[in-house]
Amino acid sequence: MRYAMAIDTRKCVGCGDCVVACQVENNVPIGYCRDWVVESMAGTYPKLEIEIRSERCNHCDNAPCVRCCPTGASHIVEGGIVLVTHQKCIGCGACIQSCPYDARYSHPDGYVDKCTFCNHRIAEGKDPACVSVCPTKCMYFGDLDDPNSPVSKALQDRRYKTLAPEAGTHPQIYYLL
């Protein structure tokens, strides 16, 4: 089993519903966020291209945050989801330094926090909160090992990219182009 997410950059309008849904679902403290939306504009007027990306932890196959964690608080569970055990985290910040995506932050309570792919919802057979609220249905979640999962189907039909593949992290958030 390998959970992954595909996000259609042509359907995403950057409304930020995914961000708010995550904050509410996971009780993210005010001023912090586990996901965010980036608008990337390239070119010169009038030939401009805009790409809108909903970003979060990439739940990397080769996760540097897990490698560098001195206590084992950062770990990978079944399905490839990268999690942090709060009671094991000492708040040293090594995982924050090691993440090329700046997807982790120091929670006001001291431990390091990040996207969990809403693993509590997955356990109930639901999609992550961000996916379930997306008004344009631009996010696809599921098991990459299942060819019939929404994410596998989305990746079969479209060109896609990952962020900073040169970092060697094998990210599992795919952006459909």
Partner 1 sequence: MKEELFVSGRDIPNIDPYLNIWHWQIPGYLYLGGLAAGILFFAALYTILNKEKEMQATVKWASFIPPIALVVGLFFLFLDLKHKPFFWQLYTTIRLESPMSWGAWVLMAITPLSFIWAGSYLREAWPKWDWKFKFLYDFEAWVQRNRYWFAWPILFLSVILGIYTGILLSAFNARPLWNTSILGPLFLTSGMSTGVAAILLLTKDKTERHRLTVIDLILIGIEVFLIIHLIMGFRASTAVQIEASRLFLGGQFTVVFWTFVFTLGLIFPAILEVLELRGYHLPAYIPAILVLFGGLVFRFIMVEAGQITRYLY
List CB contacts of 36: < 8 A, sequence separation 6 or more: 19, 54, 55, 56
CB of 104 to partner 1, least distance (A): 8
Residues 11, 25, 61, 96: which binds partner 1 (CB under 8 A)? 96
CB of 127 to partner 1, least distance (A): 19
Mask for 46-65, x = binds partner 1 (CB under 8 A)? ------x-----------x-
Residues 11, 88, 158, 170: which binds partner 1 (CB under 8 A)? 88
Question: Distance between CA atoms of 176 and 161, rounded to whole angstroms?
Answer: 7
> Which phi and psi (to 5°) does residue 153 adopt?
-65, -40
The interface with partner 1 within residues 66-85 (CB under 8 A) comprises 67-73
Closest to partner 1 by CB, 155 or 163: 163
- Let me know: does 3 contact 82? Beta carbons within 8 Å: no
CB of 177 to partner 1, least distance (A): 14
Q: Does 5 bind partner 1 (CB under 8 A)?
A: no
- The residue written with tokens 């098991």 in the block is 143
- Let me know: does 35 contact 56? Beta carbons within 8 Å: yes
Question: Distance between CA atoms of 121 and 171, rounded to whole angstroms?
Answer: 21
Closest to partner 1 by CB, 1 or 40: 40
List CB contacts of 46: < 8 A, sequence separation 6 or more: none
Pairing of strands 3-8, 173-176: parallel
Q: Which residues bind partner 1 (CB under 8 A)?
A: 14, 16, 19, 31-33, 36-44, 52, 64, 67-73, 86-94, 96-102, 105-106, 109-112, 163-164, 166-168
